[in-house]
Amino acid sequence: MKKIIIILIICVFLLAYTGCQPSTVEEQPINTIVTTVVETTNTPILAPINNAVFTYEEYEESNDELNFNINMTIPQISGLDNEQAQTTINDILMNHANIRKNEIINYAEADFKSLTAGMTTWPHALDYWVEIKSIEQDYVSLLISNYTFMGGAHGNINSYGFTFRLSDGYLYTFTDLFEEGYDYYDVINQEIYDNDKEFIGESDEFSYVIEEFMGIEDRPKFFIQDGFLTIFYDPYDIAAYAYGHLEFRFSENVLVSLK
């Protein structure tokens, strides 16, 4: 009797801790195909700056036969004086979202085609969201992330930085951030070595990094927030999956100027 009580207490604790709730979803036939799409909600993300306003486009799609589920929050900008710049920015953001969406659908279709009789596919999932890191008079910087699951022990998170010039829609590359001739590579690497030893394996304590850190690559992923440059890495880029998304945020004097 004591064993039963202990087991019940453990189960109640686990449910409370994880937030698990009994499923209320009705069971559907295996071969039913259900696809739903939710269009623009036009929910403002930020108040206007220089007449620029970001809105969400919420997109949902699911397919029981192919066993995938997609939930996306896609940013779109409006209110710019230069309509061509606005179109350019929105096209880039929408194209990126479509690439991620099509990847998960293509994987699901390929897995479905490889099935033998009586088998079912792994569930496939895509969650896609945006964080607006900066919106200034002359530029906007976004971090777009997606979580994908295509079977296995766990899914994975990938993030992408987008920094646009609002006057013409130009998408900045990393080298655009610095004046010509500025030795940003050595300056940034030196700051990492001086201030982030626990990340790069130079500390006597436990290191996050799988292998010896060899410095930033030529075109690292980045965003700008509050005038500070941040370089970021996805799980497995330089560290174990358990450490997730890692960021190096640099002092303001590292970022010379946006041209």
pLDDT digits (tens, 9 = 90+) for 140-154: 999 999 999 877 777
Confidence of residue 177 (pLDDT cuts 50, 70, 90): confident
C-alpha closest to that of 206 among 217, 214, 198? 198
Please report whether residue 118 resides in a domain. Answer: yes
Asked if the structure places residue 188 within a domain, the reply is yes
Q: Tally Cβ neighbours within 10 Å of residue 55.
A: 17
Q: Greater confidence, 36 or 140?
A: 140
Residues 89 and 147 in one domain: yes
Give the CATH number of the domain where residue 43 resides: 3.30.565.40
Whether 55 and 135 share a structural domain: yes
pLDDT of residue 175 exceeding 90, the answer is no
Q: H or E stretch including 236? A: none
Mean pLDDT over 43-61 rounds to: 75
The pLDDT of residue 1: 40
Residue 9 is assigned to a structural domain of this protein: no
Average pLDDT over residues 88-114: 94
The verdict on residue 124 lying in a domain is yes
Residue 170 lies in a domain: no
- Asked whether residue 259 is domain-assigned, the answer is no
20 has a pLDDT exceeding 50: no
On whether residue 215 sits in a domain, the answer given is yes
Q: What is the C-alpha separation between 85 and 80, in angstroms, rounded? A: 8
- At 137, the pLDDT band (50, 70, 90 cuts) reads confident
Decide if 4 is inside a domain.
no
**Structural domain containing residue 45:** 31-165
Of 165, 200, 220, the position where a domain reaches its end is 165
Residue 10 has pLDDT above 50, yes or no: no
Phi (first) and psi of residue 63, to 5 degrees: -145, 110
The whole-number pLDDT of residue 5 equals 36
pLDDT at 101 over 90: yes
Is residue 7 over pLDDT 50? no
Mean pLDDT of the chain: 74
Are 182 and 119 found together in one domain?
no
In this structure, the answer to whether residues 246 and 181 fall within a common structural domain is: yes
92 class by beta-carbon count within 10 Å (0-12 exposed, 13-18 middle, 19+ buried):
middle
Regarding whether 161 and 65 lie in a shared domain, the answer is yes
Quick one: average pLDDT of 24-37? 32
> Which CATH number is 237's domain given?
3.90.640.20
Number of domains in the chain: 2
Instruction: Give pLDDT, residue 108.
Output: 92
Domain boundary among 113, 132, 165: 165
127 and 94 part of one domain: yes
The position carrying tokens 């970001």 is: 54
Looking at 136, 165, 194, which one is the last position of a domain?
165
